[in-house]
């Protein structure tokens, strides 16, 4: 992939960085990717070996697949047909995660769990607690816009409005995030990542289409960010001062790929400011392609803006090492390898972001980071690998 006549200098990506008590050997991070290989919510030896391979392959930090928090409505079928999603509570699952963490640490890696509550996306009657509902700030699933990944039959079933979450239900979920953070710390994880993106529970508080509340959990952008901020605060109390907190957000929603939380940098500042103040260390602006300007008049991508506006660290994501974004490739099932590392380095060296998250390329090749470092050819993308614990 690297043109041998003009090798791309990737050394800056291999400079260590410390984030609170977390010392990372380099800037490459495995993006959170649902694998659906944990029957009963319990990650087994195969899952531990899957993560260990990425640590052995030199990736500095692994973010796990989305892991259900300790709340009955956290997980179910969210339109993606998954049933073997892992969770982060109960003796068996926690023992499973301890094995994962130990395997990654033994290989010299670091790992944080991505805490996940599906919220509005969860279909009632599915998952480990079929009786649990579909939690929605205002009872709304969201206006279905352009969706490419969701089964339309599922969308039909879940779109009807339900009742809004009660104050008690909101507090219960915040407490569940806190408990899960404590479990993560006790299992030996190196930090906490929060899934605040893609139209799941936290994101539906941020999004004006799904949050019409007139109490203290709704209103303008800052008010809609209160739930996310309270989740971050509760997690910080349990995680302590040494574990970093990563927060993923996105403009797009699974309900509508064209949705936007913010049309201008100022609006983005209104969304992220309260969440940053609550104690986030790293913003992960989930974009479909990293080399895309988020707002007119500046080349900065979504994470670049998060860094500039909040002063926190930022992580870029989207199509690194591949020729197209995840959901763009879903349309026709194609994603080739790509020589976009030079573009990545140009942005990284300008100081636009501090960490680089790699998703599908790391599913495809566990030693991707090591190969990048040594200028080895990166393999062509193999769609099949997404279906295996390769």
Ligand X SMILES: Cc1cc2nc3c(=O)[nH]c(=O)nc-3n(C[C@H](O)[C@H](O)[C@H](O)COP(=O)(O)O)c2cc1C
Per DSSP bridges, beta strands 192-195 and 110-116 are parallel
Please give the residue whose beta carbon sits closest to ligand X in the complex.
Answer: 359
**C-beta closer to ligand X: residue 109 or 359:** 359
Q: What is the 3-state secondary structure (H, E, C) of 157-224?
A: HHCCCCCCCCHHHHHHHHHHHHHHHHHHHHHCCCCEEEECCECCHHHHHHCCCCCCCCCCCCCCHHHH
285 near ligand X, judged by CB under 6 A: no
Q: Applying CB under 6 A, which of residues 57, 119, 164, 318 lies at the interface with ligand X?
A: 318
Q: Which stretch binds ligand X (CB under 6 A): 46-54, 259-267, 298-306, 354-362?
A: 354-362
Q: Give the total of residues touching ligand X (CB under 6 A).
A: 23
CB of 48 to ligand X, least distance (A): 18
Taking CB under 6 A as the criterion, which residues in 182-201 touch ligand X? 195, 197
Q: Applying CB under 6 A, which of residues 27, 117, 248, 347 lies at the interface with ligand X?
A: 248
Q: 62 is written with which tokens?
A: 């692994």
**C-beta closer to ligand X: residue 120 or 358:** 358
Q: Applying CB under 6 A, which of residues 141, 246, 283, 326 lies at the interface with ligand X?
A: 326
Contacts of 317 (CB under 8 A, 6+ apart): 31, 284, 285, 286, 287, 290, 303, 356, 357, 358, 359
Q: Which of 189, 199, 131, 106 is nearest to 159 (CA)?
A: 199
Q: 210 is written with which tokens?
A: 């799904």
Contact of 195 with 67, CB cutoff 8 Å: no
C-alpha 207/C-alpha 218 separation (Å) is: 10
229 near ligand X, judged by CB under 6 A: no
Taking CB under 6 A as the criterion, which residues in 68-97 touch ligand X? none
CB of 252 to ligand X, least distance (A): 11
Catalytic (active site) residue 200: yes
Q: Which helix (H) or strand (E) holds 30?
A: strand 28-30
C-alpha 384/C-alpha 388 separation (Å) is: 7
What is the per-residue binding string for ligand X in 116-155, x denoting contact by CB under 6 A? Answer: ----------------------------------------
Q: 287 is written with which tokens?
A: 């974009």
CB atoms within 10 A of CB 359: 23
**C-beta closer to ligand X: residue 158 or 356:** 356
Q: Applying CB under 6 A, which of residues 313, 314, 322, 344 lies at the interface with ligand X?
A: 322
Q: Which stretch binds ligand X (CB under 6 A): 69-77, 149-157, 231-239, 322-330?
A: 322-330
Contacts of 127 (CB under 8 A, 6+ apart): 75, 76, 77, 83, 85
22 near ligand X, judged by CB under 6 A: no
Exactly one of 177, 200, 289, 327 is catalytic; name it: 200
Q: Applying CB under 6 A, which of residues 2, 114, 251, 303 lies at the interface with ligand X?
A: 114
Residues annotated as catalytic (active site), given as ranges? 200
User: In the complex, which residues of this chain contact ligand X (CB under 6 A)?
Assistant: 31-34, 65-66, 114, 195, 197, 248, 286, 317-320, 322, 325-326, 358-361, 386
């Amino acid at each position: 992939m690297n043109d041998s006549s003009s090798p791309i200098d990737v050394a800056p990506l291999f400079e260590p960085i410390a984030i609170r008590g977390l010392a990372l050997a380099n800037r490459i991070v495995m993006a959170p990717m649902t694998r659906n290989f944990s029957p009963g919510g319990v990650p087994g030896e195969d899952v531990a070996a899957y993560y260990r391979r990425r640590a052995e392959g030199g990736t500095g930090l692994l973010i796990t697949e989305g892991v259900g928090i300790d709340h009955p409505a956290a997980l179910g079928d969210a339109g993606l047909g998954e049933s073997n999603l892992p969770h982060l509570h109960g003796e068996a699952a926690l023992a499973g995660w301890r094995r994962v963490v130990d395997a990654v640490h033994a290989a010299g890696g670091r790992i944080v769990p991505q805490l996940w509550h599906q919220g509005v996306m969860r279909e009632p009657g599915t998952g480990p607690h079929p009786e649990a509902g579909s939690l929605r700030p205002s009872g709304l699933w969201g206006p279905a816009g352009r969706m490419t990944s969701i089964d339309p039959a599922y969308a039909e079933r879940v779109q009807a409005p339900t009742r809004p979450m009660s104050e008690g239900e909101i507090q219960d979920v915040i407490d569940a995030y806190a408990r899960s953070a404590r479990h993560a710390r006790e299992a030996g994880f190196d930090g906490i990542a929060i899934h605040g993106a893609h139209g799941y529970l936290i994101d539906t508080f941020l999004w004006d289409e799904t949050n019409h509340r007139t109490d203290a959990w709704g209103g303008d952008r800052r008010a809609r960010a209160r739930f996310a901020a309270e989740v971050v605060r509760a997690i910080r109390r349990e995680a302590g001062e040494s574990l970093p907190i990563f927060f993923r957000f996105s403009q797009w929603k699974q309900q509508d790929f064209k949705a936007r939380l913010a049309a201008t940098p100022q609006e983005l500042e209104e969304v992220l400011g309260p969440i940053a103040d609550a104690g986030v260390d790293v913003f992960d602006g989930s974009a479909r392609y990293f080399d895309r300007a988020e707002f007119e008049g500046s080349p900065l991508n979504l994470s670049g803006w998060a860094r500039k506006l909040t002063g926190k660290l930022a992580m870029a994501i989207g199509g690194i090492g591949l020729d197209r974004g995840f959901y763009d490739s879903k349309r026709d099932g194609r994603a080739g390898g790509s020589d976009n590392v030079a573009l990545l380095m140009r942005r990284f060296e300008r100081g636009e972001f501090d960490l680089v998250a790699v998703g599908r390329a790391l599913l495809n090749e566990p030693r991707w980071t090591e190969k990048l470092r040594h200028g080895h050819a990166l393999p062509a993308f193999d769609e099949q690998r997404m279906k295996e614990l390769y």
